[in-house]
Amino acid sequence: MKLIIRPEKGLGKIEVELDDELTGEINRLSERYGVPAERVIEIALTGEFRESAGEIEELENKVKELEERTWELEREYAPLRFKAYGISEDNKILAIELSGLIAENNQLRRFLRLPLKGNPELRKLISYYMK
């Protein structure tokens, strides 16, 4: 790759031939950060880039702390979620049994020629637990 640097004013220019390894690195940085290769070269020549090693270490420490806190919360709430799942499954089984008993009750009322009871509230409750 041939690099030509022209001043904003004047006629002088500098021509530099870049080797393939450096060109590959420039292209890799260009793709990684989504900027043109010319901008990568300009940043490298003017020294606009920032050293952020301290920030990265600080952010990594924060991430580790948050990760540890997340696992603490997970350990605390996992048993509760397991119990809640068990209770919801028990409720579902009870709703199925209750639905069967209501159907049996209605069948007996028909056999005895008694009036049927609708119980819409009970039906709503059963459909809620069946979900």
| 14-57 tens-digit pLDDT | 777 778 888 888 888 888 888 888 888 877 777 766 666 667 78
Q: In terms of domains, do 74 and 92 share one? A: yes
Q: Where are the beta strands (DSSP E) in the chain?
A: 2-5, 14-17
Domain total of the chain: 2
The whole domain housing 68 covers 56-130
Q: In terms of domains, do 42 and 93 share one? A: no
61 falls within a domain: yes
At residue 17, the 3 state secondary structure works out as: strand
| 92-119 tens-digit pLDDT | 999 999 999 999 999 999 999 999 888 8
Buried b (16+ CB within 10 A) or exposed e, 55-88: eeeeeeeeeeeeeeeeeeeeeeeeeeeeeeeeee
| 85-99 tens-digit pLDDT | 999 999 999 999 999
Q: In sequence order, what are the residues at sequence separation of 6 or more whose Cβ sits closer than 8 angstroms to the Cβ of residue 42?
A: 48
51 falls within a domain: no
Q: In terms of domains, do 60 and 116 share one? A: yes
The pTM for the full model equals 0.47
Label residue 107 left, alpha or beta by phi (over 0 means left) and psi (-120 to 50 means alpha). Answer: alpha
| 55-84 tens-digit pLDDT | 778 888 999 999 999 999 999 999 999 999
